[in-house]
With several copies, the nearest count.
Chain A
Amino acid sequence: MTVRVGVVTFPGSLDDRDAMRAVRLAGAEPVALWHGEHDLKGVDAIVLPGGFSYGDYLRAGAIAARSPIMAEVIDAANGGMPVLGICNGFQILVEAHLLPGGLIRNDHGDFIRRDQKLRVESTDSAWTNGFTAGQEIVIPLKNGEGGYIADDATLDRLEGEGLVAFRYVDVNPNGSLRDIAGLRNERGNVVGLMPHPEHAVEAGFGPDTDLAMRSGTDGLTFFTSVLKQSVLN
Chain B
Amino acid sequence: MPTIVVEVMPKAELLDPAGKAVAGAIHRLGENRITDVRLGKRFELHVDGEVDDALLDTARQLAADLLSNGVIEDVVSVHVADDAHASTGA
Do any CB atoms of chain A lie under 8 A from CB atoms of chain B in the complex? yes
Interface set of A (CB-CB < 8 Å, partner B): 54-55, 57-59, 62-63, 66, 94-95, 97, 100-102, 104-107, 109, 147, 149-151, 175, 177
B70 CB to nearest chain A CB (Å): 9
Which A residues lie within 8 Å of B69 (CB)? 59, 62, 95, 102
Q: What would 9 A/B residue contacts be, using CB atoms closer than 8 Å?
A: A54-B21, A58-B39, A59-B69, A63-B25, A66-B29, A105-B17, A109-B17, A150-B72, A151-B14
B15 in the interface, Cβ–Cβ < 8 Å? yes
Which A residues lie within 8 Å of B11 (CB)? 151
Q: Contact at A109–B13, with CB atoms within 8 Å?
A: no
B6 CB to nearest chain A CB (Å): 12
Q: Which of A59, A63, A107 contacts B17 (CB 8 A)?
A: A107
Q: Contact at B39–A104, with CB atoms within 8 Å?
A: no
B24 CB to nearest chain A CB (Å): 7
Interface set of B (CB-CB < 8 Å, partner A): 10-11, 13-18, 21-22, 24-25, 28-29, 39, 66-67, 69, 71-72
Which A residues lie within 8 Å of B67 (CB)? 58
Question: 5 extra interchain contacts, Cβ-Cβ under 8 A, other than A57-B18, A62-B66, A63-B24?
Answer: A63-B25, A100-B71, A101-B72, A104-B18, A104-B72
A147 CB to nearest chain B CB (Å): 7
A157 CB to nearest chain B CB (Å): 13
- The answer to whether residues A175 and B25 also contact, given A62-B66, A150-B71 and a CB cut-off of 8 A, is no
Which A residues lie within 8 Å of B39 (CB)? 57-58
Bound complex: CA A119 to CA B28 (Å): 37
Q: Contact at A55–B18, with CB atoms within 8 Å?
A: yes
- The answer to whether residues A54 and B25 also contact, given A102-B69, A150-B71 and a CB cut-off of 8 A, is yes
Q: Contact at B24–A54, with CB atoms within 8 Å?
A: yes
